[in-house]
Amino acid sequence: MDTTTTTVTDGPGGPSRRSMLMAGLGLGALAPLGLAATAGPAAAAAAPQPVLTDAQVYGVTTRDPLVLNRADPFVTPRTDGTYFFTGSVPEYDRLVVRGAPTLEGLADAEESVIWRRPTSGVTGGYVWAPELHRIDGRWYVYFAAGDAGAPFDIRMYVVESALADPRDPAGWSAPREVTTPWGSFKLDATTFAHRGQRYYVWAQAEPEIAVNTSLYIARMSSPSDIADEPVRISTPTLAWERQGFAVNEGAAVLVRNGRVFMTYSASATDARYAMGLLTADEDADLLDPASWSKSPEPVFRSHAPTSRFGPGHNSFTTTPEGLDVMVFHARDYEQITGDPLFDPNRHARVQRLYWAHDGTPLFGVPLGAGAAPPVRLSPVARPQSFVRHRGDVVSVDPNVRELGQTQWRLVPGLDGGATVSVESADTPGSYLRVVDGTVRLEALAAGAEGAAQASFLRTTDERGTALQLVGDPRGGWLRHGSRTLTTGRQGALSWFALS
């Protein structure tokens, strides 16, 4: 059975990773509403839990890029101990699959060519956006292809294999077209199961609609056939969806917290490419366009401070611990010469997907590489509040939706030695600096004047993490107030939980 859309019910984001992390800090599991549990005599007598590293807290590989020169990336759920990866190759001429026991292992895994386009005729054109799904004990790759001599006369196809290992080319069938009621230029198919029904979602140019592509959904009667008339659930009407091209494409589905979330990508495939979000109630009729609401702004877009441009065409997977992971492509530069479709440097990347207090996803910004894993800092007793910045102003706020503003890297200290500095993950090169007791975000370099005011001695134990400023002759510690971040004496307010 395809497990891509596993429903999670243990609070926002599923089995509470935050609960596990707090337990790892000896602080007890959190109540379902995110309140700190009261430690009783039994908890006090329990054996101390191991303290997690920042990498364990973040829980997802920080290797970036993960797979070079692979656009439209798709990673399966971990199946019999293996993650499988596929994506578009720059030549658009073949289907590839690689596998590894870990997400990070996909970076260096050997790649197998399971199908190559013919030199003439049907499917002899460009090959686009493969997805690999395990359905009822068989593997299926959904992809789109044009014909030789008409590479943009694109239609949708599926190949299947009964073998256990999808990397084995011997198991794969010849392509079979997945037909829809009209025309060509249809691509980017995905499939998901919900409440016992399998659905097919794709992008297509409809003759009567003056846009490049819209999103359609239909029930499936088999893994290779749709059962009824398709329904259009999204068309590019918003300004950000119509930059260069009026496009909705590349859908991916995640069922969580009583809702069906569907991401999609829009606009031209350059730096203007961005991701949107459709949402439906899990009890709604998914074939009714009125069941779907669209976020008015993109949920994931280019971010110049981290040099990540055109993020999109994502998929979702999970870690063995149950964390949700977003897989996407992006470039390291903004300016492109020629047609962006033929710029080969859309690289596959992964980062952790977070969940807001109301059970909706937080995508943040494409973070890129860093000297340490990104983490969030919360007062130990207020796990739904986070240290965040808005520009250079730093505060401690509850239920922050701007994920990137709450992500930090505890990197080697600017003042050297055994110190650490707290670098903003979404504004690399900017650090927490304390001047006359005021904490602010400031761009600094190692060894620069003021480096000591942005360097701390870190203590991490069963109580959490505490940071003592080395540039303060009084030995002040970072402390959280009701909405403020200050310095002062060590105490209960100087301990932070990481997530």
Predicted confidence band of residue 20 (pLDDT cuts 50, 70, 90) = very low
Looking at the predicted structure, is the pLDDT value of residue 127 above 60?
A: yes
Classify residue 346 as exposed, middle or buried by CB count within 10 Å of its CB (0-12, 13-18, 19+): buried
Least confident span in 19-23, 244-248, 408-412, 478-482: 19-23
Mean pLDDT of the chain: 90
| The two three-digit tokens of residue 141, written as one number | 């790759």
What pLDDT is recorded for position 447? 81
Report cis status (omega within 30 of 0) of the bond before 65: yes
Q: What is the pLDDT of residues 277-290, one digit of tens each?
A: 999 999 999 999 99
Exactly one of 64, 206, 249, 426 is catalytic; name it. 249
pLDDT band with cut points at 50, 70 and 90 for residue 8: very low
Provide the pLDDT for residue 46: 53
pLDDT above 80 (res 130): yes
Average pLDDT, integer, range 392-408: 97
249 is catalytic: yes
Amino acid 308: pLDDT: 98
Tokens at residue 483, please?
Answer: 């909405």
pLDDT at 474: 73
Quick count: other Cβ atoms within 10 Å of Cβ 153?
A: 16
What CATH architecture does domain 377-498 belong to?
Trefoil (2.80)
pLDDT range class, residue 146, cuts 50, 70, 90: very high
pLDDT above 80 (res 5): no
pLDDT confidence of residue 183: 82
**What average pLDDT does range 436-463 have in this prediction?**
92
Q: Among the CATH numbers 2.60.40.10, 2.60.120.200, 2.115.10.20, 2.40.110.20, which is that of 59-362? A: 2.115.10.20
pLDDT at residue 16 above 80? no
CB 156, CB 219: distance < 8 Å: no
- Is 61's pLDDT higher than 80? yes
Better-scored residue on pLDDT, 38 or 201: 201
| pTM for the whole structure | 0.90
pLDDT single digits (tens) 238-263:
999 999 999 999 999 999 999 999 99
| CATH 2.115.10.20 domain position(s) in the chain | 59-362
Is residue 440 within 8 Å of residue 393, measured between CB atoms?
A: yes
Q: Does residue 72 carry a catalytic annotation?
A: yes
pLDDT band at 219 (very low <50, low <70, confident <90, very high): very high
What is the spatial distance between Cα 421 and Cα 407, in angstroms, rounded to a whole number?
A: 13
DSSP 8-state secondary structure symbol assigned to residue 22? H
Between 36 and 55, the higher pLDDT residue:
55
Task: Supply 328's token pair.
Answer: 């996407």
pLDDT at 197: 98
In 373-455, the DSSP E strands lie at 377-379, 385-390, 393-398, 408-412, 420-424, 430-435, 438-443
At residue 110, what is the residue type? E
Catalytic position from the list 2, 54, 64, 72: 72
Q: Is there a contact between 383 and 497 (Cβ–Cβ < 8 Å)?
A: yes
Residue 27 has pLDDT above 80, yes or no: no
Contact yes or no for 141/132 (Cβ under 8 A) = yes
Does residue 493 register a pLDDT over 80?
A: yes
| 26 pLDDT above the threshold of 60 | no
Instruction: Work out the angle at residue 66's Cα, subtended by the Cα atoms of residues 246 and 60, and round it to the nearest 5 degrees.
Output: 100
- pLDDT over 50 (residue 481): yes
What does the alpha-carbon distance between residue 244 and residue 237 come to, in Å, rounded to a whole number?
13
Q: Provide the pLDDT for residue 50.
A: 82
